[in-house]
Structure 1
């Protein structure tokens, strides 16, 4: 397994990231972090570790620069700029597509919180090469008009006690025109901090990715 720190040029910025590729990786999971989070998110890192065990590479990057992060702490303006975050995810996808070791691999877009909306927007803009979009406790509703334009299957994972977000996910699912699944983790709240909740998320995402890889190879 090869691990390295990388810098991804995106939308006039340079974004630091952590790329880990298992031997003979079958796909690479690009993580889009949510509001107030970063590539150091312990929850996304836990899920990333489980996915690597299943033979998937992972790229965790910061979608905001250090200066933007400082501004965002005060104003909150960037975390809800879905267009900006989506453009940077598209740039990261293009970077993966041009890089030896990841070129040609299908991409899983994994978004948490507002990052889910950015992932859906990026998938709608660049459908080629996207295996699936996964949302963990996400706000897919913020993707707006991009929802019906998504061409990859979508998995929505929500905590059973995260009632407002669950309702928003149900409404967003109704706007999708692709195969999708809403999986509810019983007893879990928004951050999946309950014992065993995050493990259930990782298992659910891994099984979904396996299904998508199987369906893609059968085409």
Structure 2
């Protein structure tokens, strides 16, 4: 990742590894919450992050779990733990001179979208925009009433079960919520042009909300 700094983020009794990049003049910073079994090295999230930085937005990709924690499969689906991690990382960013004054957004993938919505529902995070990619947003249902940040749910048209869950979430969320369906795409957006569409739509959303 060009222009990024490797950072080590102390949370409780662990250190979470991340890559932080803030273009000059950035008004916003997008924090990525990866899905189960993934990491800050997710090629899809890194592609989206590249597009966001080209639009002048900062990005932080970080590991929600340490390598040792990730070996325990149960941790990958411990949404309360992952939410606490995301909240703590957001607080850490707000305490850094380089990132304290920026507006914040969350980009959550799969199970990471659940932790993003739950974290956004907490007063401590004060985020201004959320984008979910193929999100298991149903895992954050208890927090729907407390999410105030405008939320974009991007789902593949052929990812039928997740699409149904996202449509239900869009109706139930108290905040402004929109769905963008990538026609013909499955859960991983692997077809030609599908990930590009995800990245452009997400970048438009964050540009509008974090300007």
- Aligned-partner SS, 1:152: coil
2:90 is equivalent to residue 89 of structure 1? no
1:32, 1:109 within 8 Å by CA — same for their partners in 2?
A: yes
Q: Which runs of 4+ in 1 moved over 6 A?
A: none
- Aligned-partner SS, 1:78: helix
> For residue 65 of structure 2, what is the aligned residue in structure 1?
64
1:156, 1:181 within 8 Å by CA — same for their partners in 2?
A: yes
> For residue 181 of structure 2, what is the aligned residue in structure 1?
184
Q: Deviations over 1:162-209 (max 9, x none)?
A: 001000111111210111100000111100000100000011011111
Cα displacement (A) at 1:144: 2.3
Which residue, 179, 192, 196 being the options, matches 1:199?
Answer: 196
Cα displacement (A) at 1:128: 5.2
Alignment of 1:127-142 (within 5 A): 129-142=126-139
- Aligned-partner SS, 1:48: helix
- Aligned-partner SS, 1:174: helix
> For residue 35 of structure 1, what is the aligned residue in structure 2?
36
Alpha-carbon separation, structure 1, partners of 2:186 and 2:37: 18
> For residue 45 of structure 2, what is the aligned residue in structure 1?
44
> For residue 154 of structure 1, what is the aligned residue in structure 2?
151
Cα displacement (A) at 1:60: 0.3
Alpha-carbon separation, structure 1, partners of 2:162 and 2:198: 16
Task: Count residues with an aligned counterpart.
Answer: 210
Residue segments in structure 1 that go unaligned for 5+ positions in a row: 215-219
